Amino acid sequence: MRFDGRKFDQMRPVNVIRNYTKYAEGSVYIEVGDTRVICNVSIEDKVPIFLRGKGEGWITCEYNMLPRATQIRKIRDITRGKIDGRTMEIQRLIGRVLRSVVDLKALGEKTLWIDCDVIQADGGTRTTAITGAFIAIVDAVNKLHRKKNFKVYPIRKYLSAISVGIVNNEKLLDLCYAEDSNAQVDMNIAMTDDGEFVEIQGTGEEKPFSRKDLNQLMDLGENGIKKMIEIEKRSLKMDALWIGTGDKK
């Protein structure tokens, strides 16, 4: 048993609220345990300079952790005058993994801006943001699809992410902060619904880990992601029917 009563392969409770804000084309509030993130997706009718005239779109992310999302106040990036390395890494990760499941040519010359704001952090903020952002992108693309009627529906697959790790020599799924901060091995995994890996970030924080450890962590993460994707499907309901179909309806 873990300190919060969960089994080694048990996720924290997940809660998803769609259409959480008024103006964004896609907006999701997501809770995973005590981690809470707001994900907004905005559609812009232009692309970065390097894509202009190529007939394809782009997806990019800005990630932010509010000052009292953590136990100790975090200074805002604007106050320090620069984005810290962790923030840059996470927002690049989110944009990168979301692009992997979207047909950017089918999207056309549009940019999907993902804004992920962590309002409370208790481990797994980047993986929670990826799951929330995926749902928000589906909502945003669907709004565009109903107006534009894409010849090929852009979202090709489901996507989710989760953390795994080794804490006190035990392999655990979905680490909270207390576990993550004491992990011997810390790993984040992003996968699609057909079992393909998009991103694997794994680090031996205190000591190296074996291939056997890696395989067991990957299996643990894959099972967790399957459960997260089922949550996505239940949240989206009928609005998920176009995913992977290229349907024009």
* CA–CA dist 200, 92 (Å, integer): 14
Which residues 6+ apart lie within 8 Å of 198 measured at CB? 97, 100, 101, 159, 190, 191, 192
* 125 assigned to a ligand binding site: yes
Q: Could you tell me if 193 and 158 are in contact, meaning their C-beta atoms sit under 8 angstroms apart?
A: yes
Q: For residue 234, count other CB atoms closer than 10 A to its CB.
A: 11
Beta-strand pair 26-32/159-167: unpaired
* 35 assigned to a ligand binding site: no
* 86 assigned to a ligand binding site: yes
* CA–CA dist 241, 215 (Å, integer): 33
* CA–CA dist 83, 161 (Å, integer): 24
- Could you list the beta-strand ranges (E) of 131-184: 159-167, 170-173
* 124 assigned to a ligand binding site: yes
Q: Which residues are annotated as a binding site?
A: 86, 124-126
Q: Which residues are annotated as a binding site for phosphate?
A: 86, 124-126
